Amino acid sequence: MLTTQVPHISHSFALSAAGIIPNTLKNMFLAEVIGHIVATKKDDSLQGKKLLLLRPQLVDEANPSQFRNGQNTIVAVDTVGAGEGELVMFAQGSSARQAQGMKPLPVDAAVIAIVDTVNVLGKKIYKSN
């Protein structure tokens, strides 16, 4: 399980733009698992892989003590055994293929952690059950 310290959103963007946050961290995000996908016909390399439907969770700029839903949904390969309703960390792009067993797969997003807690500005805004 994972405990995450999330910096204030504008501070994070400033560090990223200045090149202080490594590229691998720029492609890691939080999301709620809102469902799963069954695809009986798919690329052979995806056989046996669990596909999850994710709703990105963003720290609300107006009230950093809570999340707000992102506008898109993401399909991601599950590498950690996550389930519906859980808050997870996922990687996108080439970072997703750095997760265990993902390198040869045609994936653009992978769930890489189930989150235990999230602290923003010294305040716990999420704790798993």
Q: Domain ranges in the chain?
A: 2-13+28-40+48-127
Q: List 101's β-bridge partners, or say none.
A: none
User: Can you list the alpha helix ranges (DSSP code H) found in 1-129?
Assistant: 9-17, 23-26
Give the three-state DSSP class for 121. coil
Predicted pLDDT of residue 19: 47
Query: 55-110, pLDDT tens digit by residue?
Result: 999 999 999 999 999 999 999 999 999 999 999 999 887 776 666 666 677 777 88
Q: Is the pTM of this model over 0.75?
A: yes
pLDDT in tens, 38-57: 999 988 878 888 999 999 99
E-strand spans in the chain? 2-6, 28-37, 51-59, 67-69, 74-78, 87-92, 109-120, 123-127
Specify the amino acid at residue 94: S
CATH number of 2-13+28-40+48-127: 2.40.50.220
7 by DSSP, 3-state: which?
coil
Locate tokens 């997760």: which residue? 99
